[in-house]
Structure 1
Amino acid sequence: MAFFLSRLTPRRALLAPFHALLGRLFVAWGDVRLVEPDPESLGLDARLPVLYVLPRPALSDALLLASLARRHGLPSASGHRRVGALRLSACLALPTLRRRLWRRVSPPQAPFFDLLTQRQAHPEHEVQLVPVSVFWGRAPGKRFGFWNMLAADSWQLTGRLRRALSVMVNARNVEVHFGAPLRLGEVLGDRDPAITNRKTARLLRVHFRRVRTRVLGPDLSHRRTLIEGVATSPEVRRVIDELAVSERVSPARLQARARRYGREIASNMLYPVLRFMDGLLRRLWNRLYDGVEVRGLDDLKPLAEDHTLVYVPCHRSHIDYLLLSYVLYHEGLMPPHIAAGRNLDMPLVGPLLRRCGAFFMRRSFRDNPLYAAVFNEYLHRLLSRGHPLEYFIEGGRSRSGRLLPARPGMLAMSLRSYLRSAKGNGPQRLAFVPVYIGYERIIENASYQRELRGGRKRKETPLSLLRVIGQLRQPFGRVAVNIGAPLILSDYLDREAGDWRNNIGDSRPAWLTPLIPQLGEELSRRINAAAALNPVNLVALVLLATPHHALEASLLERQLALLVTLQRRCPGGDHASLPGGEPTAWIKKVETLGMIERRSHPLGDMLLAAPSQAGLLAWYRNNVLHLFALAGLTAFAFRHRSRHTLSELEAMLAPSWPILARELVIAPPASLRAALAEMLDLLVEQGLLCCDGGSWWRPDTPVEAGEHLRLLGQLMQPTLERGYLLIALLLEAGSGRLAREELANLSCQLAERLAVLSGLDAPEFFDTRVFVSLVESLEVQGWLWQVNGKLVFDERLPAAARLSAELFDPALRHRMQLITRRCDSESVGR
């Protein structure tokens, strides 16, 4: 049947009964996997006739479209339409040029001339043209030998035999993409119908090309050809010539080394492997998770048609690699090429990942200029040709659950490639796409806790997969994939580096080095702004705010509802998402996942986390703690002082807020005073505070309101304590006494001591990297600066510390001061 479908075209199918029989057989054989957008959202005018337009003549596409239109209640795509005096096929196709060896063939004309002529003479005969793209499977545009004949749509024009085999092989893996309806009157105006005929065909071809780029990605060259082009590129040859002189090695030997590096790095995306992984991962997700929720992808799809996309997801689990590619593939977007660490290029796993689009990089290649040149050239060729890319700007997986500071390496290479590719052709259209991936439970739970407590990171091996397979029977909840606000690189450079267009072609302008950390911070903030609240991290936020990690079930439910209300009314992230359902169901879900325990009691059930469970919950709490930074800080201010005016509150929190915002990677509001006023009004509305117009105070009754306010303020206490410890240690030592690393290490030791004395079993509380980031934040805000390698401050820091100290319990301040003095005296003694 498929052979006849490929041989016939609508013009040659003269027998309607035979046509109908083929259609019924085709409907029974085929299956549409994805229809986009929803046909009901096309906005067709029921009063006007509809003609469907295909990018090329193909009876298989026409029959599929006819059955799809009947199924979704769209205007019929079979038979003919009467439009005024014209009788036209309901499904048109743009003509394709058929070459003949014995004569030249003039380009065929688009089929809209008669319609346009009639529309110009009779404006009432308007027509809606609906472009339709049909993809029989999806290939990334490479040659795969025999599979190239069998498998899927690609950028190559297909012959009739290959088209027939494609219909047979991919009949149950079909995607249909509808375009926005186009009215002839919108393009005709007062123009000549012959000119408008060509313009209409050109507009439709541009649309079809953009959809094809979005779905298939740009056309790929053969991997061997790509590696050869990288190894012989001018940039790599220049490095080879320099090394040949400095290291006294023959250029031919260095050229062979460059090719070896290219083979070590380059991906080898294969369509059969993508199809295999699609089926495998679908079964894995069904076994592992209760579902994968995707948000924000619809807004991204139009951008994918004319921009090179660089996905920058947060990195919480090894599952991230597979999950994002799977989601993009299923949503009709081309899976990206993924930058993966060389540690994953191990037997069995490495070749599979490479064929799914992964390219491998060494952790550091600063001392290997030839490897750096090959990697930079490979990355440049991917970006300049429009291939979607994915890399993790954090550099590695987060063991604490926090978003790690952005590493500059890949961002710097991407920006240099952007400036280089813009030379001569104008700026390339490139967009960074922040992605937040949130888990209710991750596979690496145990290993993260072991490493946070000082355990050595285990090397990934194929045998480690066997341990993962043993966990497949355990529940892991749901996964959220949230797309943040894309960052259009040209627009960002216009704002932050106004004269950047004068440096096009220069891969290392003066403004580039200071801009890269700013870009990393901006992308990190956009990732966090798309965070997903789920039952596990909500319960973790509340339960870990209690001294013994235990709470009455009724109070826990009400506090969960409060957190969701605060996020809904004053969102901590512009693209953050909330869970569905009710607090009772959320608690039940966390119990099912084994993250908390319930104890029955005659006066009411209690929920608690054992020490091992509390350590795990801290990771999930840190995923979303930033969403409640302002709410927690405002509530904490009322913990030891019952009344504040807005001015007093602003003066007390202003020194801490920029540092807190930078540590938690959030965008500070334009006005802290306005944000505080809005938050205070919301807390009054929820009954947690009282207001008499000029000041706000903590109510004595009901007691429950005070408990809710205390739990909310407790969210920020560990973060604020870390900052107070570091500043107290710095002030005790004095200006110009400690270096940056020395201050961070001493603060870490002090925090660990305080955690033991206070019974706080939380390794992430004294994570050295957090203190290093805190010192950097103080330098960025101008509180500290370095002189001869030592940290120096002026009288502003002690004044700000005195204001911030009012937030803390006097007993706690006294204990921290004692520990600080003892720690400082011991360090001086050494």
Structure 2
Amino acid sequence: MPWISALASLVRRPVRALIRAWVEVRLIEPDPASLGLSPTAMTIYVLPHPALTDRLLLETLCARSELPEPNQPLSEQQPALSRCVSLPGRRRKAQAPFLGYLEWLHGHPEQDLELLPVSVFWGRAPGKRFGFWSLITADDWGLTGRLRRALAVLVHGRSVEVHFGAPLSLRALIERRPDALTNRKVARLLRVHFRRQRTRVLGPDLSHRRTLIDGVVASPTVREAIAETAESEGRQVSRVKARARRYGREIASNMTYPVLRLLDGLLERLWTRLYDGVDVEGIEAVKALAGDHTLVYVPCHRSHIDYLLLSYVLFHEGLMPPHIAAGRNLNMPVIGPLLRRGGAFFMRRSFKGNRLYRAVFQEYLARLLSRGHPLEYFIEGGRSRSGRLLDPRPGMLAMTLRAHVRGVKTRGHSGKLAFIPVAIGYERVIESDSYRAELAGKPKRRETPLGLLRVFGRLRQPFGRVSVTIGAPLPLSSFLDAETPEWRHASDEDWQQRAVPRLGEELARRINAAVPLNAVNLVALVLLATPHRAIERDLLERQLELLVDLARSSAEAIGTDGSTPAQGLSGSPAEWIPHVESLGFIERRHQVLGELVLASPEQTSLLSWYRNNVLHHFALAGLVAFAFRNNVRFSEEELHALLAPGWPVLVRELYITPETELATALRATLDRLVDQGLLEVETRPAGDKASVPRWRRPSAGHAGREQLHLLGRLIQPSLERGYLLLASLLRLPSGSLTRDQLAEQSGLLAERLTLLSGLDAPEFFDRRLFAGLVTSLEADGWTWPDEDGRLCYGAELTATAERVNTLFDPALRHRLQQLAAPTSDAAPSPSSKAEAEASTATPPVDDA
């Protein structure tokens, strides 16, 4: 009727004016220009439910983005067919609205219609199963639908998100079946899309915290732990049950949307003040999984900023922020409640000896995963003080794996859980000074609210840029199918003990593969490779270009879609050097003969943290370059025989993921070094087809010789640590030392070496590095424990160590061997005597 149309128009005008004046769209995804709409098909917008505000907002956006207008009829002959439709509500019995469009297609065989799903989110409030907030967020509360929408416009009008789906050809869905069946099929496909989109953005509904804790305490596993604890301690069951409930309150998060909005605003101001920018790479891989996978984010742990930064990035990219496992030390006054309402759940550092606490925590974690909530935890356990990726801790991984297996077996779901490795790179980390002090032996400072105030005092200092890079996601079921195929049917847990360490190593490799390069860690790599932490500026620039070229061309530069660690780099070496100086890491001195770049002892100690972030990207190139330091030429077979024994140990120490076998990667590395002018290929004699090609280092006057030497020094500290460990092991008979004794003695020798060398490098003698090397030797079969736990070795290790000795020049080899000698007056072996004489003699004349 005409009067109904006039009344509708009268209502639409003020609402449209309100939306234009008040509503601000925070995120439109994807960009309308990238939707790829067909130029020949007509676009039909599809909304998940009838809502006037959504339709009017869509009209406004389409006008701004030059998209087809949604308020026009399909054709003048059929004005009832609008170019914007909505699916009926779940409580309505009305059928899907596509029958008229199907009939139109039958009458116009040369035409097509593209369905474009559009999801509009007024705010990002995850649903609560109980509470007043459902009045505003529950889409299926029919009695308050209009009131809810009006409140949403007023309350969340400044934080609206619009998500477009992939265009769907309606003609392609027409099959030889009645239109009624096609109509239902199209509606079903769209409902699945809208449900996944909602899950991706809002996550599953949040249980009321008290209800969740009650469910955890009432679960069979926790009830069993309560009964056993009561019996073992001789206490009443009711008291132990109350303790379990206290544990639940101590652990459980209480995520609330107002706090998420508050943190979003605070963090946005913090990043603007603290950093020059936040770079995000690889987020599309997460968005592709978020709709139908439970996501577990596993970032590297470089700083307390990590979890705040990742949640902020996910929120701004249209993804649900995760529940974050935080140490109980952060549950401090003021800060703890704020973090808890932002999604943090707190855990003790150790569960040892407390079966009840373990049962409560495991059940809480399992319930979060079973309901599809995204999680975040750090597999390293704590922040890295040395800048390296720490060895993965098995605790959270094992609990996640058990919860996943329980869900697959008891609930029968498909097991769509994926780990998301995340690498976070800082140009300057807030905790630099405290890390340096802790590595030097000072105790870790306890976190307090006053400590947070000290951080705010540093906001005026420059911190450069920060990057968040998503690594290759790891679906857990696929990983288990490949590693332990029996996991779906095995009743024992022996396979879990094998799977968890492998899972941790795989995730660590994927995190390290995603670590980005930046100006600071590149300058640190080069400057710390110089003997006196000083270098000519032009040589520094050439070496920086070399590292970037190697990272971009290396077959081991792992990333999604062919990306490399250097893909986020901008600018040139000439711009990076003054930028690093502005951050306080280096000094520049202008001289008549050319500018010098230097680092003080304090700056050197700080730079080692940033070098260790990315050293793994250049491990093989550095190892090859180091081999030519004391050897003029190699054939490919000779070089492979020399490097093959130690390469697996280095791979495990630095969590490297080679894409190819060593022989293939070695040849590619040699070719790249030749292309860069760092190595030369000796030509074959004329007519000698049987001769083997050999690679040689450039002559002493060649510009590439110095660059090759600097590249080799990148990996020298790792090789020296391995040499000291082998020297400590082999100087005594087999079966003399335990794992801990060997790691401890090697660490002491490394500390002595740094002191005698006058270097301030406490990360060089980190005991955890030597413990990892001992584990690698045992994993590769070089050593094995006897009945008393002492390490045994055979003649093969001795022979290999003798062969590897040729990597080091006689002077360095003699120094390391003397350092590892059992007593200062011990008689040196004949070989060490010869090396001592060689080290004091005139150095050999280099080949011309």
Q: Same fold (TM over 0.5)?
A: yes
Paired amino acid for 1:453: A
Paired amino acid for 1:194: A
Give 1:123 deviation, angstroms: 2.6
**Residue 233 to residue 695, structure 1, CA distance change in 2 (3 Å):** same
* Mapped partners of 2:215, 2:483: distance in 1: 34
**Residue 491 to residue 732, structure 1, CA distance change in 2 (3 Å):** same
Q: Is the 8 A contact 2:81 2:100 kept in 1?
A: no
* Mapped partners of 2:111, 2:76: distance in 1: 7
**Residue 690 to residue 339, structure 1, CA distance change in 2 (3 Å):** same
2:489 paired with 1:502 = yes
Give 1:807 deviation, angstroms: 0.6
Q: What SS does the corresponding residue of 2:514 show, helix, strand or coil?
A: coil
2:435 paired with 1:442 = no
Give per-residue Cα distances to partners, 1:752-811, cap 9 Å, x unaligned: 111122222210111101000000000000001100210001111011111211110101
Q: Equivalent residue for 1:563?
A: 547
* Mapped partners of 1:13, 1:534: distance in 2: 61
Q: Equivalent residue for 2:60?
A: 67
Q: What SS does the corresponding residue of 1:511 show, helix, strand or coil?
A: helix
* Mapped partners of 2:364, 2:334: distance in 1: 24
Paired amino acid for 1:725: L
Give 1:143 deviation, angstroms: 6.1
Match of 2:305 among 319, 322, 339: 319
Q: Is the 8 A contact 2:743 2:770 kept in 1?
A: yes
Q: Equivalent residue for 2:416?
A: 429
Q: Is the 8 A contact 1:136 1:153 kept in 2?
A: no
* Mapped partners of 1:400, 1:369: distance in 2: 33
Q: What SS does the corresponding residue of 1:309 show, helix, strand or coil?
A: strand
Counterparts of 1:513-528 in structure 2, within 5 Å, are 513-528=497-512
Paired amino acid for 2:772: S
* Mapped partners of 2:262, 2:594: distance in 1: 51
Q: What SS does the corresponding residue of 2:666 show, helix, strand or coil?
A: helix
Q: Is the 8 A contact 1:745 1:768 kept in 2?
A: yes
**Residue 154 to residue 195, structure 1, CA distance change in 2 (3 Å):** closer
Paired amino acid for 2:503: L
Q: Is the 8 A contact 2:139 2:145 kept in 1?
A: no
2:656 paired with 1:654 = no
Paired amino acid for 1:190: R
* Mapped partners of 1:692, 1:356: distance in 2: 63
Q: Equivalent residue for 1:226?
A: 212
Q: What SS does the corresponding residue of 1:691 show, helix, strand or coil?
A: strand
Q: Is the 8 A contact 1:258 1:370 kept in 2?
A: yes
Paired amino acid for 1:324: L
Give 1:501 deviation, angstroms: 1.7
Q: TM-score, normalised by structure 2?
A: 0.93
**Residue 623 to residue 97, structure 1, CA distance change in 2 (3 Å):** closer
* Mapped partners of 1:498, 1:414: distance in 2: 18
2:482 paired with 1:491 = no
Q: Equivalent residue for 2:778?
A: 779
Q: Is the 8 A contact 2:325 2:376 kept in 1?
A: yes
Give per-residue Cα distances to partners, 1:410-446, cap 9 Å, x unaligned: 0000000011111241432100000000000011011
Q: Is the 8 A contact 1:308 1:388 kept in 2?
A: yes
2:565 paired with 1:577 = yes
Q: Equivalent residue for 1:118?
A: 104
Q: What SS does the corresponding residue of 1:472 show, helix, strand or coil?
A: coil
Give 1:87 deviation, angstroms: 4.2
Q: Is the 8 A contact 2:251 2:345 kept in 1?
A: yes
Give 1:225 deviation, angstroms: 0.3
Q: Is the 8 A contact 1:531 1:573 kept in 2?
A: no
Q: Equivalent residue for 1:799?
A: 799
* Mapped partners of 1:50, 1:649: distance in 2: 62
Q: Equivalent residue for 2:397?
A: 411
2:814 paired with 1:814 = yes
Paired amino acid for 1:757: L
Q: What SS does the corresponding residue of 1:315 show, helix, strand or coil?
A: coil
* Mapped partners of 2:98, 2:483: distance in 1: 47
2:211 paired with 1:186 = no
Paired amino acid for 2:221: E
* Mapped partners of 1:11, 1:296: distance in 2: 50
Give 1:179 deviation, angstroms: 0.5
* Mapped partners of 1:532, 1:19: distance in 2: 50
**Residue 714 to residue 600, structure 1, CA distance change in 2 (3 Å):** same
Paired amino acid for 1:556: L
Q: Equivalent residue for 1:254?
A: 240
* Mapped partners of 2:701, 2:74: distance in 1: 73
Counterparts of 1:714-729 in structure 2, within 5 Å, are 714-729=713-728
Q: Is the 8 A contact 2:26 2:160 kept in 1?
A: yes
Q: Equivalent residue for 2:663?
A: 673
**Residue 785 to residue 330, structure 1, CA distance change in 2 (3 Å):** same
Paired amino acid for 1:512: Q
Counterparts of 1:744-755 in structure 2, within 5 Å, are 744-755=743-754
Q: What SS does the corresponding residue of 1:254 show, helix, strand or coil?
A: helix
What RMSD in Å do the two structures reach over aligned CA positions?
1.8
Paired amino acid for 1:647: E
**Residue 335 to residue 155, structure 1, CA distance change in 2 (3 Å):** farther
Q: Which moved more, 1:180-189 or 1:775-784?
A: 180-189
Q: Is the 8 A contact 1:537 1:617 kept in 2?
A: yes
2:440 paired with 1:461 = no
Paired amino acid for 2:102: L
Paired amino acid for 2:364: Y
Give per-residue Cα distances to partners, 1:341-368, cap 9 Å, x unaligned: 0000010110000000000000111210
* Mapped partners of 2:500, 2:823: distance in 1: 37
Q: Is the 8 A contact 2:22 2:157 kept in 1?
A: yes
Q: What SS does the corresponding residue of 1:347 show, helix, strand or coil?
A: coil
Paired amino acid for 2:433: A
* Mapped partners of 1:824, 1:300: distance in 2: 58
Paired amino acid for 2:537: A
Give per-residue Cα distances to partners, 1:108-165, cap 9 Å, x unaligned: 1111012113324543232111000000111121268555545x57786662112101
2:251 paired with 1:265 = yes
Q: Is the 8 A contact 2:731 2:822 kept in 1?
A: no
Q: Is the 8 A contact 1:572 1:628 kept in 2?
A: no
Paired amino acid for 1:534: N
Q: Is the 8 A contact 1:307 1:429 kept in 2?
A: yes
Q: Equivalent residue for 1:57?
A: 50
Give 1:24 deviation, angstroms: 3.6
Give 1:221 deviation, angstroms: 1.3
Q: Is the 8 A contact 1:722 1:751 kept in 2?
A: yes
Match of 1:27 among 20, 35, 60: 20
Give 1:19 deviation, angstroms: 3.2
* Mapped partners of 1:476, 1:670: distance in 2: 37
**Residue 676 to residue 142, structure 1, CA distance change in 2 (3 Å):** same
Match of 2:532 among 531, 534, 548: 548
Give 1:78 deviation, angstroms: 1.9
Q: Is the 8 A contact 2:45 2:85 kept in 1?
A: yes
**Residue 825 to residue 431, structure 1, CA distance change in 2 (3 Å):** farther
**Residue 822 to residue 344, structure 1, CA distance change in 2 (3 Å):** same
Q: What SS does the corresponding residue of 1:159 show, helix, strand or coil?
A: helix
**Residue 521 to residue 56, structure 1, CA distance change in 2 (3 Å):** same
Paired amino acid for 2:532: H
Give 1:385 deviation, angstroms: 0.5
* Residue-pair matches, total: 806
Q: Is the 8 A contact 1:51 1:77 kept in 2?
A: yes
* Mapped partners of 2:700, 2:736: distance in 1: 49
Q: What SS does the corresponding residue of 2:272 show, helix, strand or coil?
A: helix
Q: Equivalent residue for 2:707?
A: 708
Give per-residue Cα distances to partners, 1:639-684, cap 9 Å, x unaligned: 1111111011000000110001100111234321111111111111
Match of 1:287 among 258, 273, 298: 273
Structure 1: runs of 5 or more not aligned: 1-9, 99-105
Q: Equivalent residue for 1:127?
A: 113
Match of 2:82 among 62, 86, 89: 89
* Mapped partners of 1:724, 1:189: distance in 2: 70
* Mapped partners of 2:309, 2:131: distance in 1: 28
Q: Which moved more, 1:411-420 or 1:566-575?
A: 566-575
Q: What SS does the corresponding residue of 1:278 show, helix, strand or coil?
A: helix
**Residue 107 to residue 600, structure 1, CA distance change in 2 (3 Å):** same
Q: Is the 8 A contact 1:544 1:614 kept in 2?
A: yes
